[in-house]
Structure 1
């Protein structure tokens, strides 16, 4: 058996960056911490991994305990292990991110057993304060990832309602990329890829002229495209 060094006492944690899109704003799911250190600070949903627990299992458990969300597909994107990132000792965290539809997922709350989380809230990224630990850095890293990925993979459709307008689609790209896109060129490119299914439906309950609704055609995308696309160039 390998002899472990005496200092082999690091802890692992999981932190989850969950994005949502609502009313033209990109939002992030945060918890308000209920224990020291950083008691009362906002933070990403996260906590320690149990000794007999797989990292992936821990990510799902911690997200559920701190927010009540279950069965969310999350992708591991980075590991943060800087010295001093946790004031109480050496903690290495594995970060995950997810992009989910807010419809049906707006109501979030920690389970009673989640003593570390006082409450969970969706917050616009424009209003996000400095977060506990190095969570602001983790957020920036995740946002950088989706900003790059949204330009060549159809991940934007994971944030939109199942039925959406072209205006909603363009708004999402503009928010993530932080730039204004030409309406005519954007629509022309999106429709030319032939991955949007035009529905025989229009918006309901709006005070302005109702726009056509579309759906993302996953089958057509999988069948016709074996390589990455350029959605914004």
Structure 2
């Protein structure tokens, strides 16, 4: 820092500007019982006490945004921060929070078959809710959640995001189940299998198979793991609600 900059900072008064607070909100998604679920907390304090909301809160001094998102997720739900997390968007409408001007940076979090959460911090309760059976949410969290769901559905087309919803190893059938659940449409098993294996770096074979062929004693299925691709080319295009992939 040079002398001119040092003198400027010594004279600078941040109180000359309106106060703005920064929060993080997390859209945490998982698949439970073959349905897409989102993690919500019941607010234990005002404003909007008793209403459901996304996990989140104010950032702390010296805390980076992703760090704050992981901390809030752990504090309000008891879930270990072992999930894939990425930034979604920023929300800063002047009246979005009745307390003061609050800008929220939202995050998407994904993990397979997460356990039941335990409420902590200032949350009265925490629970998984089916994404198609949601209560009215506090603040503008309904909009944030809708944006998060649409982002997840879009990203399945051109990134290997679906592998974040399954375990370290998985079958192509299990991967197809992720796409069907998140997109909400049935997919042709054979075509999906062919398309997945035609995308370089999407998945790679482990050389192993499942222990059995299921309840009917069918052939064993090959096991795969996530590949090194960051983008899918060609993309797996999302079909319309009333059609299957061909």
Question: What TM-score do the two structures reach when normalised by structure 2?
Answer: 0.80
String of CA shifts for 1:28-75, please: whole Å, max 9, x gaps: 111111111111111110111123433232212211110112333421
C-alpha distance in structure 2 between counterparts of 1:39 and 1:227, whole Å: 43
Pairwise CA distance, 1:229: 3.7
Pairwise CA distance, 1:227: 6.3
Pairwise CA distance, 1:124: 1.3
String of CA shifts for 1:89-117, please: whole Å, max 9, x gaps: 21111101111122xx3032133xx0x20
Which residue of the partner structure matches residue 27 of structure 1?
A: 37
Which residue of the partner structure matches residue 6 of structure 2?
A: none
Corresponding position: 1:63 with 2:73 = yes
String of CA shifts for 1:198-220, please: whole Å, max 9, x gaps: 6322458x5444552522242xx
**More off after superposition, 172-181 vs 9-18:** 172-181
Corresponding position: 1:214 with 2:220 = no
Please say if residues 153 and 229 of structure 1, whose CA atoms lie closer than 8 Å, have aligned partners that are also in contact: no
**Quick one: which of 127, 137, 140 aligns to 1:121?**
127
**Quick one: which of 92, 97, 120 aligns to 1:86?**
97
Corresponding position: 1:155 with 2:155 = no
Residue segments in structure 1 that go unaligned for 5+ positions in a row: none
Please say if residues 22 and 105 of structure 2, whose CA atoms lie closer than 8 Å, have aligned partners that are also in contact: yes
**Rg bigger for which structure?**
2
Please say if residues 190 and 196 of structure 1, whose CA atoms lie closer than 8 Å, have aligned partners that are also in contact: no
Which residue of the partner structure matches residue 231 of structure 1?
A: 236
Corresponding position: 1:178 with 2:184 = yes
**More off after superposition, 19-28 vs 193-202:** 193-202
Pairwise CA distance, 1:141: 0.9
Of structures 1 and 2, the one scoring higher in RCO (CA 8 A, sep 6+) is: 1
Residue segments in structure 2 that go unaligned for 5+ positions in a row: 1-8, 239-246
C-alpha distance in structure 2 between counterparts of 1:217 and 1:171, whole Å: 16
1:188–1:227 distance in 2 versus 1, CA, 3 Å: closer
Root mean square deviation of aligned Cα: 2.4
1:216–1:10 distance in 2 versus 1, CA, 3 Å: same
Please say if residues 170 and 181 of structure 1, whose CA atoms lie closer than 8 Å, have aligned partners that are also in contact: yes
Question: What TM-score do the two structures reach when normalised by structure 1?
Answer: 0.84
